[in-house]
A and B are shown apart, each in its own frame.
Chain A
Amino acid sequence: MPSGEQLLWMYEHLTLIREFEERLKWLVETGVPVGAVHYYTGQEACAVGVCAALEPSDWITSTHRGHGHCIAKGVEVHRMMAELYGKSTGSNRGKGGSMHITDVRVGMLGVNPIVGMGATHAVGAALSAKVRKTQQVAASFFGEGAAGIGAVHEAMNLAAIWKLPVVFVCENNGYAQSTPVEYALSVPRISDRAAAYNMPGITVDGQDVLAVWEVAVAAVDRARAGQGPSLIECMTYRYYGHHQGDDTRRYRSIEEEEGARSRDCIRKFRAQLLEQRTVQEEELDAIDAASRKKIDDAVAFAEASPLPQPADLFTHVYVAETRREQE
């Protein structure tokens, strides 16, 4: 079991992600131009369960649906919100947007909307950890849609033959945009694919943060011990469309969506915590209120922040400093 402190950390980050996404949805619907966004709502337990098993110095790579991964790894929400507003105070100085949020200081190597590419970058980070002997682990989040792309398979093979400290985390939310997983997958479970790369593969209830945490801890321990990669498949569900403009009615039923919402990861975890009497309801309410306040502050910070200057268009095309000769 996680410590009491870890349990509260999980609850805090589950609610913070939910608040961020719900506020973002409200902003989009009231016409605030935050660009193309893909809500993570419903999948929070996957990011939080895995990141709870990581050290701050470990790395993650992420997908177009990446806000949850960023928050769970420790990216500050006010810098994320400012990025979505296209402000110079954003995590990427307003040059990335939702689909490129990065904060290398907390090990967040980048949201990456080219499906599957993050898996290869996680392999590179893990190789870096191995060569530099730093004991770091790289976790790569990707969706079940990415299970069909070659880059992910190449990444898994490389991680396996080089015994790299990678944890591949597939969030199976059932749909690649509107394409259902049962159409696009040749095997019953994505975790079955692990056998092809001689690594452990496990499918877990992605709506249960403790279950995700438990398998993530095992995979991270294995990676850190030099025993190579693992594949975790989290069964989950996105509550909203693929992106802010997607109407799920065109490919999913109301009954299916209601069924998924009845297994909501935050409600479930809150009930578990209260049942175990490890925490008082007032404490959880206070965390909820604190999350709302953080998002209020993030929006206020984003709104008050300055826009980039036209000259910023031309900075960072090339890395400015070339390493000097070290004679």
Chain B
Amino acid sequence: MTTATARELSFGQAINEAIRQEMRRDPTIVVMGEDIAGGAGRAHLGFVDAWGGPLRATRGLITEFGPDRVLDTPIAEMGFLGAGVGAAMSGLRPIVEIMFVDLIGCCYDQIMNQAAKMHYMMGGQVDLPLVIRTAYGTRGGDNPTYGGGAGAQHSQTLYAVLAHIPGLKVVVPSTAYNAKGLTIAAIRDNGPVIVLEHKFLGLRAKGPVPEEAYTVPIGRAQIVRKGRDVTLCGIGRMTHICSEAAESLLTEGIDAEVVDVLTISPLDEDTILESVSRTRRLVVVDEDTPTASVARDIAARVADKGFDNLDAPIKTVTAPDTPVPFAAVLEAHYTPGAAQVISAVHSLFGTGA
């Protein structure tokens, strides 16, 4: 009855394995970013691989692939991401790490004017096989002891400003399994793909991960829990919050379905609409701020294309329209948690507060 225990990897280890396996089979893949190896240029003193990126996702790559393919960069996001764009246009498949998504302001032109538009404005002449990996999110949640304490400029979930730009694919993995599969899919894609990795998951989430290389398709959401009464639509870490809320709701007789969005652009409308057509209720849970957000975009699309299937208004559970606060207690209050999701579901059924 019981099968052999599947091998478990952390989220960061899964991404590391994805990059490593792809680099082994394709010599044109290079990795660039700040401290992605660490201690650059100090090999003669015995310092190699001192850091490995914020999620340790690039740890050990330099010892296997060498400093020509694993490039620690100076602090110059505009410069090295631009180098990634130029390299992708001229025969390499660069994986560029922007340490935190909060730093995209330093290189946003390379993302929104350059990488996203090259293929289109050049009339299809160039492919742009570029992967941008970046960490996002607060480390907070329901438990104030998880307060990250990184404050307003190192804790954001700035993906709406990426999803807004045509030409970019933007994926947000939620488990070690789909982190590996989406990373490999991103590397194999011939256009620019941004992979947003939640800090909380990156350092903690463990799960079964097959050893062989595999892809999780970009542009497809996944129903991770079947249910009849309400669809909870989560992005990244919020998918876990949705599942937590679903467990709790079941004890009071509400059977929630959970959809993991996985790709926020291009969005898999069909899976969400299909789910809502069965459950007839929708709560979208998003860690980003709500104005002009992915959550409201999903809500608007379902209102537009699935209105006849709805028995109740669409609810969104998001961070508030404020900067991310520093104090752990405030950060926990800022970050959407299961309690808010449950409360939103109650409002759809006319129960609770």
Measured CB to CB, the residues of A under 8 A from B are 59, 61, 90-96, 100, 102-104, 109-110, 112, 114, 117, 119-132, 134, 138, 150-151, 153-155, 157-158, 161-162, 315-319, 321-326
What distance in Å separates the Cβ of A94 from its nearest Cβ neighbour in chain B? 7
Stretch at the interface among B109-117, B132-140, B268-276: B109-117
Q: What chain A residues lie within 8 Å of B292 (beta carbons)?
A: none
B121, A318: Cβ atoms closer than 8 Å: no
A316, B119: Cβ atoms closer than 8 Å: yes
Task: Give the most central of B26, B87, B123, B189: most A CB within 10 Å.
Answer: B123
B126, A61: Cβ atoms closer than 8 Å: no
Q: What chain A residues lie within 8 Å of B113 (beta carbons)?
A: 114, 117
Considering the complex of A and B, which 10 residue pairs feature the smallest CB-CB distances, nearest first?
A: A124-B86, A120-B82, A154-B79, A121-B86, A93-B123, A319-B191, A124-B87, A92-B123, A124-B83, A154-B76
Number of A-B contacts (CB under 8 A): 167
A151, B188: Cβ atoms closer than 8 Å: no
Q: What chain B residues lie within 8 Å of A92 (beta carbons)?
A: 121-123, 125
Contact residue among B79, B90, B188 (Cβ-Cβ distance under 8 Å from A59): B90
Q: How distant is the Cα of A151 from the Cα of B85 in the complex, in angstroms? A: 13
Which B residue sits closest to A113, measured CB to CB? Answer: B113
A/B interface sample: 29 pairs, CB < 8 A: A59-B90, A90-B123, A102-B123, A109-B86, A109-B126, A110-B89, A117-B110, A119-B82, A120-B78, A121-B86, A124-B84, A124-B90, A127-B83, A128-B91, A131-B92, A132-B28, A151-B109, A154-B82, A157-B76, A316-B119, A316-B124, A317-B119, A318-B191, A322-B188, A322-B189, A322-B190, A323-B129, A323-B188, A324-B188
Which A residue sits closest to B82, measured CB to CB? Answer: A120
Q: Is B324 an interface residue (CB 8 A)?
A: no
Which B residue sits closest to A95, measured CB to CB? Answer: B123
Q: How distant is the Cα of A323 from the Cα of B28 in the complex, in angstroms? A: 13
A318, B119: Cβ atoms closer than 8 Å: yes
Q: Is B166 an interface residue (CB 8 A)?
A: yes
Instruction: Give the number of residues in B that approach A within 8 Å (Cβ atoms).
Output: 53
Q: How distant is the Cα of A323 from the Cα of B73 in the complex, in angstroms? A: 28
B28, A95: Cβ atoms closer than 8 Å: no
Which A residue sits closest to B192, measured CB to CB? Answer: A319
Q: How distant is the Cα of A158 from the Cα of B107 in the complex, in angstroms? A: 15
Q: What chain B residues lie within 8 Å of A125 (beta carbons)?
A: 86-87, 89-90
Q: What chain B residues lie within 8 Å of A155 (beta carbons)?
A: 79, 82-83
Interface 1/0 per residue, B185-205 and A, CB below 8 Å:
100111100000000000000
Q: What chain A residues lie within 8 Å of B189 (beta carbons)?
A: 319, 322-323
Q: What chain B residues lie within 8 Å of A104 (beta carbons)?
A: 89, 122, 125-126
Q: How distant is the Cα of A110 from the Cα of B115 in the complex, in angstroms? A: 13
A120, B188: Cβ atoms closer than 8 Å: no
B82, A124: Cβ atoms closer than 8 Å: yes
Complex interface residues of chain B between 117 and 165 (CB less than 8 A to chain A): 118-129
| Known contacts A96-B121, A325-B215; 9 further A-B pairs (Cβ under 8 A) | A96-B123, A109-B89, A127-B86, A127-B92, A128-B87, A153-B79, A318-B191, A322-B185, A322-B189
Q: What chain A residues lie within 8 Å of B25 (beta carbons)?
A: 326
B85, A316: Cβ atoms closer than 8 Å: no
B190, A319: Cβ atoms closer than 8 Å: yes
A123, B122: Cβ atoms closer than 8 Å: no
What distance in Å separates the Cβ of B72 from its nearest Cβ neighbour in chain A? 10
Complex interface residues of chain B between 245 and 300 (CB less than 8 A to chain A): 266
Q: How distant is the Cα of A92 from the Cα of B86 in the complex, in angstroms? A: 18
B120, A323: Cβ atoms closer than 8 Å: no
B120, A128: Cβ atoms closer than 8 Å: no
Q: How distant is the Cα of A127 from the Cα of B73 in the complex, in angstroms? A: 13
Q: What chain A residues lie within 8 Å of B78 (beta carbons)?
A: 120, 150-151, 154
Complex interface residues of chain B between 58 and 94 (CB less than 8 A to chain A): 68-69, 71, 73-74, 76, 78-92, 94
Q: A104-B126, A123-B86, A124-B90 are in contact. Are A110 and B110 (CB under 8 A)?
A: no
Q: How distant is the Cα of A128 from the Cα of B166 in the complex, in angstroms? A: 26
Which B residue sits closest to A110, measured CB to CB? Answer: B122
